[in-house]
Amino acid sequence: MSVAFSGKSGEVEGDGWNLMATDKCYDYGWRSKRSACLIGAAVVCLGLLLLTVILVANNTSAINQWDTKYENLISELTKGRDNLRDERDQLMIQSSNLTKEMEILQSQYSAVVASRDKLQEELNKLKVNGTGLACRKGWIQFNNKCYFVSAHGVTKNWQNSRKDCQERGADLVIITTKAELDFVKRSYGVTWIGLSRSGDGTWKWVDGTNLVGAGFWQDGEPNNVDGDEDCVEVSRSAAAWNDVPCSRQFSWVCEE
């Protein structure tokens, strides 16, 4: 709003209206005119002052509102930042746990792969036959079992014969059927088998089990004639068992 004073007329003008007309000031005389003009000016000043106060108050309120909004925004951003930090920390913990689980699973997977490869290797060694049984090279298959017969001309005592079998991953043969007895005795005139007398006088197989039943002894055997006949051999001619000293030198048969 603009305010102007006219020098000629003695009027105070502002945007198209007169604050105090000259003729009104003269209507009351000189003193009255001066008083009236002063009052008008005072009113104008008060109006301007009031307008200024209103404008300042409005500006102060707007600034305060902006400060409040700004503070609220900062508070929200700070909370959002803190929440993101918490989520980041949780994700880092989860990532670490997942890494450990992955390492365990990788180890288990490697073990499974190794086991699979071993089984595949064994499967590749299997011969195509009715039983699916495969015997190693140099071994003989008979009734779903694999046997190793010592070389011709090579003999050992009972303990060393068993040691040879164990070094091959097997043990001296355990005979449980007549068919198996006939198979073993046809290789050599005399053959060691995996039966011996224990310290308490009982006959035991190399797997630790006791001899069950009458067995396949020759007539009159076992007789322990020499007092140290603690090991058993199979005679081709008799097709039966005989107890003899373990120090004797015979061929042998291993069984897997």
- Return the pLDDT at 207: 95
How do the domains of the chain map onto residue ranges? 4-95, 140-255
Find all residues with CB under 8 Å of 204, minimum gap 6, and list them: 195, 196, 197, 198, 210, 211
- Return the pLDDT at 174: 96
CATH H superfamily, domain 140-255: Mannose-Binding Protein A, subunit A (3.10.100.10)
- Return the pLDDT at 161: 98
At 70-100, the pLDDT tens digits run 788 888 888 889 999 999 999 999 999 999 9
Predicted model pTM? 0.50
CA distance 84 to 90: 10
CA distance 227 to 47: 144
Percent of the chain, pLDDT > 90?
46
Amino acid at 52: T
Amino acid at 193: I
Average pLDDT of each block of 10 consecutive residues along the chain (256 residues)?
A: 42 43 48 63 75 69 74 87 91 91 89 83 56 79 93 96 96 95 93 94 95 92 90 94 96 96
